Structure 1
């Protein structure tokens, strides 16, 4: 069951300017292995982390450096979560995170879907019957 969706878009040149002006952002936002990447890839990873926070419904219990974007052998991007962020995601009953990223024409984007086993396992799940007029 999908419990959250997040999307984010980053202007790559503007993101590069922020990193150049504020060098301490790099270690605050990215893991050591991520820091080796080109700015467009960093922008996509930043978008992925923002999209994850949106899919989770907020940043409570989430820390930037606990989120690392890695790749499966096929090249598919995935999250490697650690620390309090991993505990937060698990505690919310989320069993899978789906990530898609792209960068082109000076923009980087990411889309995240958070999936849980079922609504009954979620700590703050509330359900109500859908009205005919609900859209």
Structure 2
């Protein structure tokens, strides 16, 4: 009998967030560069800024950062900053998470190896779901 775990790993944490797109648009209009510099990485700003409706993409990334912070159980703050989490696209245009050194240290601390994220947005709402997994090979026996 094979007692190894199936591919995918062990779930360590899960987080989700939902935000109104107009809330992000309003902050962008009021605070502009100050908000962008505080919350988003250069990588995220380049991507969102190239889109026809950047506020929708910023809102989805804002939700993703919140969802990731909830996976860790920390929220955004001392242990994990806004810019510790960067959302970028993989080869199939799938959203991927890049963590800075602070985020990588937290990932190791909670015993996870990867952060997976899913984003979605409409004209009015943006949402994200994030999960922490440990996918190191191990057997159950």
Tell me, in whole angstroms, the C-alpha distance in 2 between the residues paired with 1:90 and 1:22.
35
Residue 26 of structure 1: which of 19, 33, 36 is its match? 36
TM-score of the aligned structures, taking structure 1 as reference length: 0.81
Alignment check: 8 A CA contact 1:93 1:117 kept: no
Residue 17 of structure 1: which of 26, 30, 33 is its match? 26
CA distances 1:76-106 after superposition (whole Å, capped 9, x unpaired): 1010111211111122211121110000131
Give the deviation of 1:117 after TM superposition. 5.1
- Name structure 2 gaps, 5 residues minimum: 1-9, 49-53, 137-141
Q: RMSD of aligned C-alpha atoms?
A: 1.5
How many positions carry a matched residue from both structures?
Answer: 118
Tell me, in whole angstroms, the C-alpha distance in 2 between the residues paired with 1:21 and 1:105.
20
Tell me, in whole angstroms, the C-alpha distance in 1 between the residues paired with 2:89 and 2:135.
24
Match of 1:121 in 2: none
Aligned pairs for 1:48-63 (under 5 A) are 48-59=64-75, 60-63=78-81
TM-score of the aligned structures, taking structure 2 as reference length: 0.78
Give the deviation of 1:40 after TM superposition. 0.4
Match of 1:7 in 2: 16
Runs of 4+, deviation exceeding 3 Å: none
